[in-house]
């Protein structure tokens, strides 16, 4: 039977029945009170699972090995076909390459000859070209010398004009001779220049031909070396690899036809793949066995309770124990079933307690993160706070300065007004009295004082204006800073008022839940302890003579020491609250 076909519940029940039928009262009572998986049940099941697991592993190994061998046979057959096809292709290529090599050798010889001839032609034309350049250079030198002798400065050209005889006759002959020589050199230079141009065109053409031949030669040599590399290196290496593969296939085939405990019929790559598959499948089987064993361990004690209760309902199945022992076991089974239910509740409480503790840790972590964010929001822009403080202080100084300037301006205007009035009055008085003109200095001085007062008032007005402008600019900067700060403060306020408040509420609620769960768990554990003590106190006691059997006298009867079934074996539980009766 494979592991996948095992019904672990049936096996646990079967093994439990066998243990119950083979055990006496003391063992059955001990198993009940231990409240843990029964090793007498689990050990045979573990051995059985190990046996089936090993059997499945062996079957799996055989199956995977057979499949790997079949795959290797198919791979070898396909590899043989591929090698034969590759050899046929290379043989055909060899024939074509040999033909191409012969053609390339001939072409290279011809190109070698063409290149040599073309190089000779090019060198000859280039030499003639250089000779023409030298000749033209020599003519230019002679022309320069002749012109220096004649001391003329006009553009080159054939000179046909005749100079009036203004010099002695010998000098005239020398002049004419130099002129004729110059004309001859100019004509010669023109002829050589034409020839030089023609020769340059011819040289360029021959140079292109030489370059083309050299390029064709280089390409032919590259192709020649490529083919030689294929025929002398690549093809022999391929042939050697085919030979090695053929030898390996032959070795695998011989191993396949003989006893092959070490799987020599598989290639190293196939063996490695097979090992990986076997290891993976073995892990899966081990996991399956572990899962089944875990299920058996989980259900072992509950199954024992159920099967023992069923066995006690049929005394013929437990003939090895007495009636009183059966009665005691029934009472213990009833108590332990209740205790099992209570243990499940205890387990649920422990699970809830763990979850609540994890939730509380998560809430504390979130609160710590919110506190960090709050600190960041409150201290993220200290320079703006500092700037606003400085601007506020500056505005206070500017406001005081503006108010002082306004006060001074007002005083200056009063002085100007009174001075102007005094000047007008004094002018009228002096004019009316017709006294000395010296007295006109008084209204002039008053007028001057009035003008100075007006200028001073204007200065204070300007100072007040500048202060107000600066205050307005500072206020605008402060408003911008306040907008930026307000964003952070709003976030901080939201964190503080909403998020952190909610977190604190949740933390408080979680801590309260933890206390309640812990209290419930302690109460549940206390009840379990009481019930377990009550179960442990159940036993058989000697009660003297009894007429339990009608046809027997003087029989010894053991009665359970536990209270009757209608009495409570443990404190009552009302709505998850234990009532201890005090």
Which is more confidently placed, 381 or 135? 135
Tokens representing 508? 């408080």
Greater confidence, 420 or 27?
Answer: 27
Is residue 152's pLDDT more than 80? no
Q: How far is CA 413 from the centre of its chain?
A: 78
Give yes or no for residue 244 having a pLDDT over 90: yes
Average pLDDT over residues 486-513: 79
Measured in degrees and rounded to the nearest 5, phi and psi for residue 335 equal: -65, -45
On the 0-12 / 13-18 / 19+ scale of CB atoms within 10 A, 359 is middle
Work out the pLDDT band at 466, boundaries 50, 70, 90. confident
Top-confidence residue, 156 or 173: 173
Which whole number is the average pLDDT over 125-134? 89
DSSP-assigned letter for residue 230: I
Is residue 43 over pLDDT 90? yes
What is the band of 533 on the pLDDT scale with cuts at 50, 70, 90? Answer: confident
What are the tens digits of pLDDT across the range 393-407? 888 888 887 788 788
Q: How many helices (H) and strands (E) does the chain have?
A: 10, 4
Contacts of 582 (CB under 8 A, 6+ apart): none
Percent of the residues in the chain that have a pLDDT greater than 70, as a whole number? 82
Please name every residue paired with 556 in a beta bridge, in sequence order, or none if there are none.
545
> Distance of CA 508 to CAs 42, 145, 513, 517, Å?
46, 118, 9, 14
pLDDT of residue 432: 65
Check residue 550 and give its pLDDT: 33
- Tokens, residue 323: 């009636």
Distance of CA 58 to the CA centre of its chain: 43
* Two structure tokens written together for 107: 């072409």
What is the pLDDT averaged over residues 60-75? 94
pLDDT band of residue 274 (cuts 50, 70, 90) is very high
Mean pLDDT of the region 148-152: 68
Q: Are strands 577-578 and 573-574 parallel, antiparallel or unpaired?
A: antiparallel
* Partner residues linked to 558 by β-bridges: 542
Q: What is the pLDDT of residue 556?
A: 32
Look-up of token digits 């601007």:
391
Question: Has residue 547 got a pLDDT over 50?
Answer: no
Strand pairing category for 573-574 and 555-560: unpaired
- Residue 329 CA to residue 310 CA, distance in Å, equals 12
Which tens digits make up the pLDDT trace of 116-126?
Answer: 998 999 899 98
Alpha helices in 230-267 (DSSP H): 235-256
Helices marked H in 323-440 — which ranges?
A: 323-379, 382-433
Phi-psi region of 161 (alpha: psi -120 to 50; beta: other; left: phi over 0): beta
Quote the CA–CA distance of 558 and 114 in Å, as a whole number: 130
* Tokens found for residue 307: 């099967």
Residue 434's pLDDT band, with cuts at 50, 70 and 90, is: low
H or E element, residue 516: helix 500-537
Q: What is the mean pLDDT of the chain?
A: 81
What pLDDT is attached to residue 576? 38
Amino acid 166: pLDDT: 45
Please tell me the predicted confidence (pLDDT) of residue 569: 36
Judged against a pLDDT cut of 80, whether residue 517 lies above it is answered with yes
What is the pLDDT at residue 581? 36
Residue 126 CA to residue 164 CA, distance in Å, equals 47
| The pLDDT value given to residue 551 | 33
pLDDT digits (tens, 9 = 90+) for 304-356: 999 988 888 877 666 678 888 888 888 988 888 888 888 889 889 999 999 99
Which residue did the predictor score with more confidence, 545 or 176? 176
Distances (CA, A) of 162 to 171, 175, 180: 14, 11, 12
The predicted-structure confidence for 551-578, as pLDDT tens digits, reads as follows 333 333 333 433 343 333 334 434 433 3
Residue with tokens 């408080």: 508
CA distance 144 to 106: 57
- Its sign, for the CA torsion 111, 114, 119, 120, is positive
SS3 470: helix
pLDDT at res. 317 = 64
Mean pLDDT of 58-86: 94
For the cut 80, the answer to whether the pLDDT of residue 545 exceeds it is: no
Q: How many Cα atoms within 13 Å fall on the side-chain side of residue 241?
A: 12
Contact residues for 17 (Cβ-Cβ < 8 A; gap 6+): 307, 311
Categorize the per-residue pLDDT at 436 as very low, low, confident or very high, splitting at 50, 70 and 90.
low
Tell me what the mean pLDDT of segment 540-545 comes to: 45
8 Å CB contact between 300 and 12: yes
Q: Between 196 and 483, where is the model more confident?
A: 196
Question: What pLDDT, on the 0 to 100 scale, is given for residue 303?
Answer: 92
pLDDT of residue 208: 92
Min mean pLDDT across 29-33, 69-73, 109-113, 258-262 is at 258-262
Q: Is the pLDDT of residue 26 over 60?
A: yes
């Amino acid at each position: 039977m494979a592991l996948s076909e095992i019904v672990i519940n049936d096996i646990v029940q079967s093994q439990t029945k066998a243990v119950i039928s083979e055990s006496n009262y003391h063992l059955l009572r001990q198993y009940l009170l231990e409240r843990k998986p029964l090793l007498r049940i689990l050990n045979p099941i573990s051995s059985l699972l190990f046996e089936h697991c090993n059997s499945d592993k062996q079957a799996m190994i055989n199956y995977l090995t057979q499949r790997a061998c079949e795959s290797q046979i198919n791979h070898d057959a396909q590899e043989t076909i591929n090698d034969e096809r590759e050899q046929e292709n290379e043989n055909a290529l060899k024939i074509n390459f040999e033909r191409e090599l012969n053609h390339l050798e001939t072409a290279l010889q011809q190109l070698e000859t063409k290149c040599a001839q073309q190089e000779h032609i090019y060198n000859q034309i280039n030499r003639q070209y250089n000779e023409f350049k030298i000749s033209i250079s020599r003519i230019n030198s002679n022309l320069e010398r002749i012109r220096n002798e004649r001391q003329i400065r006009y553009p080159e050209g054939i000179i046909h004009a005749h100079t009036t005889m203004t010099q002695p006759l010998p000098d005239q002959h020398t002049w004419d001779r130099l002129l004729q020589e110059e004309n001859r050199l100019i004509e010669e230079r023109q002829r050589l220049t034409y020839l030089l141009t023609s020769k340059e065109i011819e040289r360029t053409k021959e140079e292109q031909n030489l370059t083309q031949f050299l390029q064709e030669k280089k390409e032919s040599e590259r192709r020649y070396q490529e083919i030689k590399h294929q025929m002398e290196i690549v093809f022999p290496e391929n042939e050697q690899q085919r030979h090695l593969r053929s030898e390996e296939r032959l070795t695998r085939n011989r191993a396949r036809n003989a006893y092959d405990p070490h799987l020599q019929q598989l290639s190293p790559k196939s063996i490695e793949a097979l090992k990986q598959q076997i290891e993976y499948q073995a892990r899966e089987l081990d996991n399956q066995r572990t899962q089944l064993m875990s299920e058996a361990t989980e259900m072992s004690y509950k199954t024992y309770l159920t099967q023992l209760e069923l066995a006690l309902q049929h005394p013929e199945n437990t003939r090895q124990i007495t009636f009183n022992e059966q009665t005691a076991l029934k009472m213990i089974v009833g108590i332990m079933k209740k205790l099992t239910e209570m243990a499940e509740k205890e387990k649920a409480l422990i699970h809830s307690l763990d979850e609540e503790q994890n939730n509380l840790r998560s809430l504390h972590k979130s609160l710590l993160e919110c506190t960090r964010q709050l600190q960041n929001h409150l201290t993220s822009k200290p320079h703006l706070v500092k700037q606003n403080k400085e601007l506020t202080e500056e505005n206070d100084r500017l406001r005081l300065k503006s108010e002082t300037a306004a006060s001074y301006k007002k005083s200056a205007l009063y002085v100007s007004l009174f001075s102007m009035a005094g000047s007008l009055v004094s002018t009228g008085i002096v004019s009316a009295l017709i006294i000395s003109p010296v007295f006109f200095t008084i209204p002039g001085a008053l007028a001057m004082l009035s003008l100075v007062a007006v200028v001073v008032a204007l200065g204070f007005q300007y100072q007040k204006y500048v202060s107000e402008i600066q205050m307005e600019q500072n206020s605008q900067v402060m408003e911008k800073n306040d907008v930026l700060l307000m964003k952070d403060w709003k976030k901080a306020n939201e964190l503080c008022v909403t998020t952190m408040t909610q977190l604190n509420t949740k933390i408080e609620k979680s801590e309260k839940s933890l206390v309640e769960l812990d209290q419930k768990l302690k109460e549940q554990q206390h009840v379990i302890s009481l019930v377990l003590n009550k179960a442990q106190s159940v036993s058989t006691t000697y009660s003297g003579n009894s007429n339990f059997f009608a046809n027997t006298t003087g029989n010894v009867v053991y009665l359970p020491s536990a209270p009757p079934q209608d009495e409570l074996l443990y404190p009552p539980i009302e709505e998850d609250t234990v009532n201890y009766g005090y």
